[in-house]
A and B are shown apart, each in its own frame.
Chain A
Amino acid sequence: MSDVVIIEEDKLMCSLLTEWLSAEGYSVRSVAPRESQAANKADLVIVDVYMPRHEGKSRLSAVKSAHPETPLIAISGQFRPGLAGSCSAAHALGVQQVIAKPFSRRDLLLAVRNVIGPAC
C-alpha cells in the first residue's frame, strides 16, 4: 500500500482528495498543517500551499524536514494553470510536482502516478 499524506486545511477539499486517492487504492492520511512534523513515514506528501509567495517556502521547508525522503506534490489556489510538471522554483524546494487548484481527478491521479506510480 502506498501511503499518501495530505496536508490541506480545507476540509471539503481534503475529503475530496482522500476520496479520489482511496478509490485508486492509495492509503490516505490527512494531517493538519501544524501536525505535519509528527507525521509518520509516507510514500508521498500532498501539501496545500497557501500564499505561495509569502509563507509557501517556510511551509514546504517544514514538510520537507519532517519527510526528508518523501516526494512532495504541492497544490495551491494561487498557481497559474499550465504550470504543472515543470516548475523549477518548486523543484528547488524539493517539490516534484505542482498542481494548480482547482484540478480534476485526472490531473491529480496523473501527478501522483507520475511521482510514485500506481497504488500497489
Chain B
Amino acid sequence: MARGPVTPQESDSGSLLADATRAARVRVWIVVIGVLVIAAFAGSSAYDAWRSYERTISANARELGNLAKTLAEQAQDSLQTSDLLLRDTVTWYETEHPESGDVASAKLAARAAGLPAVRVVSIMDEHGVPRFRSRELPATVASVSDRTYFIAQRDHPDLGVVLSDPLLTKAEHRPAIVMSRRLDKRDGSFDGIVQAEVDLGAFQRVYEAIYLGQGSAINLLRDDGMLVVREPQAPQAFGVKFPELVAAGSEGAGLQVSPIDKEPRFVGIAHVAGFPLVVAVTRDKRVALEGWRDQAYRVAARTLILMLLGALAIAALVYQLRRIEVGERALRQSEERYALAMEGANEGHFDWNIADGTGFLSPRMKLLHGRSVDAVVTSREAWFAELEIHPDDIARMDAARRDHFEGRTDHYEAEHRVRHPDGQWRWVQSRGRALRDGSGNVLRFVGSAIDITARKNAEAEKERLETQLRQSQKMEAMGTLAGGIAHDFNNILGAILGYGELAQKAAPEDSLVRRYLDNVMHAGGRAKALVERILAFSRSGVGERGPVNVQSVIDETLELLAASMPPNVRLDKRLDAGDAAILGDATQLHQVAMNLCTNALQAMDKGGVLEVSLDRADVAQSYRLSHGSLVPGAYAKLTVSDTGGGIPPQVLDRMFDPFFTTKGVGEGTGLGLSLVHGIVSDLGGAIDVRTTVGDGTVFTIWLPIVGEAPAPAAKVDMSLPHGQGQTVLIVDDEKPLVALGEEILAELGYEPVGFSSSTAALEAFREAPQRFDIVLTDETMPELTGTALAREMQLLRPDIPIVLMSGYSGAQLHERARALGIREVLHKPLQTKDIAECLGRILQHCTPAPTRA
C-alpha cells in the first residue's frame, strides 16, 4: 500500500472508498452475469419448448394429413366400386329391360354380392317407386321421389353419379349415402334411377378400427361441409353442415378453431377424388399437445429449479464476497488504525528475519533514519551499511542487541544517533523483542523506533539550564560573599594603607621602621589587588559603562604584553573589528584580554605561537557555546589561541571556578579565568573553549557590539581646526596624560610644552610669559590646583588664555573658572576634537602675533 507520509489519513480513506466501490462493482457484475446466464438458460429452455411445440404440431399435421389421405383413398375405392356397380347395372338394365322382378332382383343381388358396403341396390321407376331391389327389405318403400338426388336425376339427364345427402334409409332407417345413376328410356326420356345404398356403418367400422386417442375424430363430410360419418359417433351432428371444416384447408393439415365448442384443434383434410366428399381427421390441440405439454412442464420445472439454484448460488456468492470484503475492510481498517497509531506515536517499526537477513521496515522507520519512504531494503546488513550511526552509539547498540539475543535481557532497548541527509544527528530510540524457536535461537527480531531528538534536546537543555542556574546561584552567592568581603576588606585595607602611609611619612628615611612599613604597604597593595579581582569575577563590583572601542583596548593590551613576551613565543595578531564598540569599561576588557593571553603564554612554556584575532561577526540565530549562549545580533569576536598542551577534560569543567588553579600553591590565585568569565558575563557576552590535549586551546570571547566608538587616540581629522605652530603650555600631574596631550597638540599643528607639576609649569611661565600662546591646565593637581595656577599666571600676564581641564564638571568649578576669567573648561578624558575646537575658537579671537611681538 503506497502511502504518502504527509497526509496518510486522507489517502487511506480515499483508497478505502475506492476499494468499496470496486467491490460493489464486482458484486454488480457478478449479479449481472448471473442473471444473464439464468436468462440464457431460460431462453434456451423456452426455445427448446417452442421447437418441440413446432415439431409436435408438424408431426400431428403430418399424421392427420396422411391419415386423411389414406382414408380418402379408402373412401374413393369403396365409392368407385359402388359406382362401377351402378354403371354396370345401368348398362344391363337399359339393354335388357327386365320385366320379371325375381330375375332382376337376382341379377341385382348378384351384382351387389361382392360389395359389403352396399347394402342394397334398387332400381326406381320414373316416379321413384322401387321396381327391383337386390334383396327384400323389411318395409316397403313407397317412393323416393321426394329425395333430392331423385329429383336431381329426373330433372338433369347428364348428372352421372349423384351422391345423396347422408340420410336414414326409408326401409331400414339406417344411416347411409345413396349413390344413384339415371336410367334412360330408348328415347332418352327419364326411366327412373338405379341407386345403391352405401352403408355408412361400413365407414364407421373402418374408422373405429383406427385408434387415434382421445380428443381426435375422423369425419367424412360432403364437400359442402355436411357431416356424413364421424368417429367417434355423434348422432346429434349427423347431417349438420360444417362448411368451415371443409373450407379451411382444401388439402393437407392445419389448426382450426372448432365451430362447435370453440376448441382449437388440428385438422387433416383429404378430398375423395371423383366424389364431392372430404375426409377430415381432427385432433384437439389440447390433446395433440398433451405430450409436449407434459414435457414442457417438466422442462419448465427443471429450468425453474435450476434457475432458482443459480440465483441462490449468485446470492450466496455475493453474500460471501460481501463477507470477505467486510472482513478485508475490517482487516484494512485494523491495519490502518495500527499504522495511524504508529504514525501518531511517531513510531516506525521493523521486523527482521534473522535467519536470512531480510526484513520489513515501515515507511516511518525509514524516515526516522533519514531515508526516503521508498528506499529499498534488501537486507539487514545493507540497511545498517547505509546508515550513519554515531560512532559513540554503535557499541552500546550492539551490546544491547547481543544481550537480548543471548537471553540476558527481556527486551531490547537502545538509543542512538543517526545522521540525516541534511547532516543533522537525530536521536532514535528503538525497542524490540526477539522471537525464538524451541531451542532459543532467534528467528525474528521485531520492534519499533521513535525519534527522541526533541526529548534529548530538551533533556540536554534542561541539564544546561540547571547547570546554568546552579552556576548563577553559585555566582550570586559568591557575589554576595565577595561583596561583603570586599566591603570589609577594603575598609580594613583602607585603614592599613592609610595609616601605613601616614606612618611611612612619619618614619625617618632609611630607618628600619620605614623599611618595615614599606613592606606592610607592599603587602597591603597586594591585598588590594586581590580584592579588586574578587570584585571583578564575582560581578559584584560597580563600575561605569560606556562605549568602549574594542580594538584599541586589545591593541593596547597586546603592546603591553609584547614587552613581557618570552622569546620562544611568536605573536600573530590580526585585528579587524574597526570601530566596533561594546558597552562596558576599558579596564574590564583589558583584564579579559590580559588574562587570556597570560594563560596562553603560560600554557606554552616550551614555546609556540600565540594567535590573537579580533573581528566582527553577525549571529543570525541563537547559538550555544561551551560557556553561555548567543542571541542573534552583532558581536565582536576575540579569539586567543595557543599551541600549548591543551586543557584536560577534568580541568575544562572547573577552570572558570574561582580559586581553581592548576598552578602550584603560591603561583597563581586561581582567579584569572573566573575573572574573565565574570567580566564577559557582565558584558553580556559568552565564551567558547575548544581544546585538544596536546594541540592547544582556543578561547573565543563573544561580546555584543552596541555601535561604533572611535579609538581614543584616533588619527586626527584634517577637518578639525588646526594651529599654526602656536606654543601651548599643558599641565597635568599625570605624566601619561601630559604625553597624550602633547601628542594630540603636536598633531593638531601646535607646539606643546608639557609639565607634570603645576609649580614647575608656573616656574617656566614666570621665566618667559610671552613664550606661550595658551595654557591648558588640569584642575586637580597636588601642589597647585588648576585655578590657583591660573590666578598666578594671570598676575604675570593678564591676557593669557587659559583652559581648564577637569574630570569633574561641577557647577562650582565653572563658577570659579568664570570668576577667574578662564575661557573654557574641557572635560576629561580629553578628546582630540574637543581640544582642536576649543583652541581654534580661542586663538581665532585673540591673534597671537602681536603679543608675541
CB pair B810 A78 closer than 8 Å: no
Residue in B491, B495, B536, B808 whose beta carbon sits within 8 Å of that of A85 in the complex: B808
Interface size class of B (residues with CB under 8 A): 35 or more
**Bound complex: CA A10 to CA B483 (Å):** 16
Contact flags B487-512 to A (C-beta < 8 A → 1, else 0): 11111111111110110000000000
CB pair B812 A83 closer than 8 Å: no
**Which of A77, A80, A97, A106: most chain B Cβ within 10 A?**
A77
User: Using Cβ atoms and an 8 Å threshold, which residues of chain A touch B486?
Assistant: 77-78
Among B8-16, B217-225, B743-751, B778-786, which stretch is in contact with chain A? B778-786
CB pair A110 B808 closer than 8 Å: no
Given contacts A76-B542, A82-B585, A117-B785, contact A71 B810 (CB under 8 A): yes
Given contacts A53-B540, A71-B810, A78-B541, contact A118 B785 (CB under 8 A): yes
CB-CB nearest in chain A for B811: A71
| A38 CB to nearest B CB, Å | 24
Q: Does B627 contact A (CB under 8 A)?
A: no
**Bound complex: CA A78 to CA B588 (Å):** 15
CB pair B808 A102 closer than 8 Å: no
**Bound complex: CA A101 to CA B497 (Å):** 10
User: Using Cβ atoms and an 8 Å threshold, which residues of chain A touch B785?
Assistant: 113-114, 117-118
**Bound complex: CA A40 to CA B501 (Å):** 31
CB pair A13 B494 closer than 8 Å: yes
**Bound complex: CA A13 to CA B535 (Å):** 20
Given contacts A96-B808, A117-B787, contact A16 B499 (CB under 8 A): yes
CB-CB nearest in chain A for B488: A77
CB pair A102 B493 closer than 8 Å: yes
Q: Does B543 contact A (CB under 8 A)?
A: yes
User: Using Cβ atoms and an 8 Å threshold, which residues of chain B touch A102?
Assistant: 490-491, 493-494, 496-498, 524, 528
CB pair A110 B535 closer than 8 Å: no
Residue in A12, A56, A80, A110 whose beta carbon sits within 8 Å of that of B536 in the complex: A80
Q: Does A105 contact B (CB under 8 A)?
A: yes
Residue in B499, B585, B780, B781 whose beta carbon sits within 8 Å of that of A80 in the complex: B585
Q: Does B76 contact A (CB under 8 A)?
A: no
Q: Does A86 contact B (CB under 8 A)?
A: yes
CB pair B544 A110 closer than 8 Å: no
| B571 CB to nearest A CB, Å | 26
CB-CB nearest in chain B for A106: B782
**Bound complex: CA A45 to CA B487 (Å):** 20
Q: Does A88 contact B (CB under 8 A)?
A: yes
Tally A residues with Cβ within 8 Å of B.
44
User: Using Cβ atoms and an 8 Å threshold, which residues of chain A touch B524?
Assistant: 102
CB pair A113 B780 closer than 8 Å: yes
Q: Does B532 contact A (CB under 8 A)?
A: yes
Q: Does A52 contact B (CB under 8 A)?
A: yes
Q: Does B816 contact A (CB under 8 A)?
A: yes
Q: Does A42 contact B (CB under 8 A)?
A: no
User: Using Cβ atoms and an 8 Å threshold, which residues of chain A touch B546?
Assistant: 88
Q: Does B626 contact A (CB under 8 A)?
A: no
CB pair A20 B487 closer than 8 Å: no
CB-CB nearest in chain A for B538: A78
Residue in A19, A97, A114, A117 whose beta carbon sits within 8 Å of that of B502 in the complex: A19
CB pair B540 A77 closer than 8 Å: no
Within 8 A of A (CB), among B747-781: 779-781
Residue in A16, A71, A85, A89 whose beta carbon sits within 8 Å of that of B494 in the complex: A16
Contact flags B449-491 to A (C-beta < 8 A → 1, else 0): 0000000000000000000000000000000000100111111
CB pair B542 A53 closer than 8 Å: yes
Q: Does B148 contact A (CB under 8 A)?
A: no
CB pair A115 B812 closer than 8 Å: yes
| B279 CB to nearest A CB, Å | 149
Q: Does B806 contact A (CB under 8 A)?
A: yes
User: Using Cβ atoms and an 8 Å threshold, which residues of chain B touch A88?
Assistant: 544, 546
Q: Does B807 contact A (CB under 8 A)?
A: yes
Contact flags A69-99 to B (C-beta < 8 A → 1, else 0): 0010000111111111111110000001100
Q: Does B320 contact A (CB under 8 A)?
A: no
**Bound complex: CA A76 to CA B546 (Å):** 20
| B678 CB to nearest A CB, Å | 11
Nearest first, the 4 closest Cβ-Cβ pairs linking A and B are A77-B490, A85-B807, A102-B494, A101-B490
Residues in A lying within 8 Å of B, measured CB to CB: 10, 12-13, 16, 19-20, 50-53, 56, 71, 76-89, 96-97, 100-106, 109-111, 113-118
Q: Knowing that A13-B495, A111-B780 touch, tell me 11 more A-B residue pairs with CB under 8 angstroms.
A: A16-B498, A52-B542, A71-B812, A76-B542, A83-B544, A86-B808, A105-B501, A109-B782, A115-B808, A115-B810, A117-B812
Residues in B lying within 8 Å of A, measured CB to CB: 483, 486-499, 501-502, 524, 528, 531-532, 535-536, 540-544, 546, 585, 587-588, 779-782, 785, 787-788, 806-808, 810, 812-813, 816, 828-829
